[in-house]
Structure 1
Amino acid sequence: MQQLEMLIHQAQSLTANEQEVERMMQICNACRYCEGFCAVFPAMTLRLTFGKADINYLANLCHNCGACLHACQYAPPHEFGVNVPQAMARVRVETYQEYARPALFGTLYRRAGVAVVLALAFGIGLFLLLMMAINGTLLHPPLAGDFYQIFPHNLLAAMFGSVFVFSLCSLLFSVSKFWREISSGAGSLPALVETANNVLTLTYLDGGHGEGCNDEDDAFTLRRRRFHHFTFYGFMLCFASTIVATGYHFLLGQQAPYDLLSLPVILGTLGGIGLIIGPLGLLWLNLRRHPAHGDAAQKPLDRGFILLLLLVSITGIALLIGRNTSLMGVLLALHLGTVMALFITLPYGKFAHGFYRTAALLKWAIEKRSKA
């Protein structure tokens, strides 16, 4: 009787989207045709009931590759209407909102669309341009790439460092709360190694057979996986460039600008190219993807993040090209505006999905070892 009451209370606490995932998981657990496709279905088979934490875990374990939808005998127009990728996508964004810290900012996930991120990026850029105009002029004699003559190093470090630390801490607090609710076992080195491999190679974007996700015409393709790799490693190269430049500045006493063949510039250039190829490809796929493959309501969130990454990389490359011209100040302001917008939206945009998915992958790596 007590167990029945607990299940009733658990069902009542689920949102409508979580109840839909629970319904589909019960159907899938009886069928199990897709058990070899990705980590979601083996993890599902370890459960007879699906509570809120289980559903949030499985939703973030899903990579939205679409393979199960195309293989499912109960997919629409069947009366069961099973569409696991779409249902999981709807729950994922709810987890981002629910676990957001500060909690009040969780509603930003519903607003971080194209218009908002573009307005934020260009608004900050315009503010920096006005600062330049008040303190002098927008155009200036060539400064040999020394942008610290326009915005002092300490000012940039204080502004961008504080925002980045706040955003990163906010995101880590959010994911740690998510982890505490879904986790039920201690980690191990093999589990961590497997998780790192799954993250770095995007294992579960291979469709379960190595041929990739299903595109809008039902054909298998690895394009989504490859464009994600360009985006991820492009971002990591840009981040590495920033870390190396910081080391040059504080440890070696070498201040920017750095030569074109210096390590920070090479890393940043390669990263910028990756952050143009990857987001352009993902935007192209997003515009063409079949509505059944995801949640149409989240497209503004997806496209806003993609466009913001594109703007960061394009303005960064433009700044590198024009750093020895009188337009350097304008280009710098526009680039800093997009970077600041990216930092501000880190915990409340699509960037967060990588952290939640990593936590879910670690949970799966631990869980399957404990059940072996």
Structure 2
Amino acid sequence: MQKIDVLIQEADKNLTICNACRYCEGFCPVFPAMERRQSFASSDINYLANLCHNCSECFYACQYAPPHEFGVNIPQSLAKIRKASYQQYAWPGPFARLFNNNGLVASLALGLGAGIILLLFIALNGGLGQLFSGAHGGDFYAFFPHNTLVLAFGSVFLFALLALLMGFLNFWRDSGETIRDLGNLSAWRQAWSDALSLRHLHGQEDRGCTYPDDNHSHLRRYFHHFTAYGFMLCFAATATGTLFHYVLGWSAPYSFFSLPKLLGTLGGTGLLVGPAGLLYLKLKRDPNTADTAQTGMDIAFIALLWLTGATGLLLMLLRETGLLGLMLVVHLGFVMSLFLTLPYGKFVHGLYRLGALAKNALELQREAAGKTVVVSKPRENSVKFYQSIKDNK
């Protein structure tokens, strides 16, 4: 039996027991979505796994959690399914395996490789001596022509965007929704509201995520906000710089108080604080509620975000020094690695989770309209198991 089949069976068992117990139904959207089903196809389990925010509260509240013989562990079971779904939906599929077990090594190797290519470009266009000459006047384009950077990074960004879109469509179709359902604006408004506020990281009674010894904290939500909004501000800085260059005809370098610089500074600061905090919480968490096999993938993404933010800020601080060229190579190497790994690492969980939130909103609409939302065909063994647990509850 393949590993994914074992994971699906484990999740099916856990979810079936939960469906009979229903003690945690008010904790998060996973449990009401679970209760709308009598049994669970693999597509249902993938959907529920990506709807789960891994706050871990259900694990500590569960009467059937280890060391009980049922061994119910929803956070860990769904975390394993999530990791498998990243590879299942990835496009092109074989690329995902590069980051499956050695995400940190592969990401840093990509960054190093990109840096070497950039150094070779400089060596072939004026020599490496210009890296430390200080004759650049703070102008990035003294090392790389503007059009060269646009062509190289634009191509990689467009590929990453296409791969993310194809992966999302694979997830959406597998979830049982149609392309037409993508046009439901009210469902997407709800999904974006939930995602941007990280509402489901508040926990029951707004106590936040749960940690060992049943401690609660909102820190994970705060650090996610720093990370997500820091990333978006950095992207906005790049987009604004592009607008300045092509629409307004204002060429870089820009002053510190220009919009691209201010957005980049705020974004870079967010990428210093957020990923560092998330790494701290990741090391602090209860390993019983996580899939330790994906730790490398998680840390790779956190490291690339932090290094991108840190080198970006250093690049700004050292712009007028002889270290500008070297810092530019290092920063662009990490940015290139980040772009290339976005569709195959931890970043995609945000995209699939957004899709899961939209699907959940669609199901709630159908439920309110009196329409059935159970999409999976009941499996005989699951129904019998469900009934036996319910009868002996």
Q: Which interval holds the TM-score relative to the shorter structure?
A: over 0.9
1:335-346 aligned within 5 A: 335-346=331-342
1:200 corresponds to 2:196:
yes
Q: Distance in 1 between the 2:117 and 2:158 partners? A: 22
- 1:66-99 deviation per Cα after TM superposition (whole angstroms, max 9, x unaligned): 0100110111111010110100010011111111
Alignment check: 8 A CA contact 1:99 1:106 kept:
no
Alignment check: 8 A CA contact 1:183 1:363 kept:
no
TM-score scaled by structure 1? 0.94
Alignment check: 8 A CA contact 2:98 2:106 kept:
no
User: 1:52: which partner in 2?
Assistant: 42
1:179 corresponds to 2:172:
yes
**Structure 2 unaligned regions, length at least 5:** 369-393
- 1:203-234 deviation per Cα after TM superposition (whole angstroms, max 9, x unaligned): 11111321100123320100111000000000
Q: Which of 303, 306, 310 is the matching residue for 1:310?
A: 306
- Larger mean Cα displacement after TM superposition, 332-341 or 185-194: 185-194
- Larger mean Cα displacement after TM superposition, 57-66 or 212-221: 212-221
One-letter amino acid of the counterpart of residue 107, structure 1: R
1:1-372 aligned within 5 A: 15-134=5-124, 135-136=126-127, 137=129, 138-184=131-177, 186=181, 188-372=184-368
- Larger mean Cα displacement after TM superposition, 118-127 or 75-84: 118-127
TM-score scaled by structure 2? 0.89
Q: Distance in 1 between the 2:166 and 2:177 partners? A: 18
Q: Give 1:104 shift.
A: 1.8
Q: Distance in 1 between the 2:340 and 2:177 partners? A: 32
SS in structure 2 at match of 1:28: helix
SS in structure 2 at match of 1:220: strand
One-letter amino acid of the counterpart of residue 335, structure 1: H
**Structure 1 unaligned regions, length at least 5:** 1-10
One-letter amino acid of the counterpart of residue 131, structure 1: F
- Larger mean Cα displacement after TM superposition, 28-37 or 116-125: 116-125
Identity %: 52
Alignment check: 8 A CA contact 2:298 2:346 kept:
yes
Q: Give 1:14 shift.
A: 6.4
Alignment check: 8 A CA contact 1:112 1:348 kept:
no
Q: Give 1:142 shift.
A: 4.1
Q: Supply the RMSD in Å over aligned alpha carbons.
A: 1.6
Q: Distance in 1 between the 2:327 and 2:14 partners? A: 50
Q: Distance in 1 between the 2:4 and 2:117 partners? A: 44
Q: Distance in 1 between the 2:97 and 2:105 partners? A: 16
SS in structure 2 at match of 1:214: strand
User: 2:385: which partner in 1?
Assistant: none
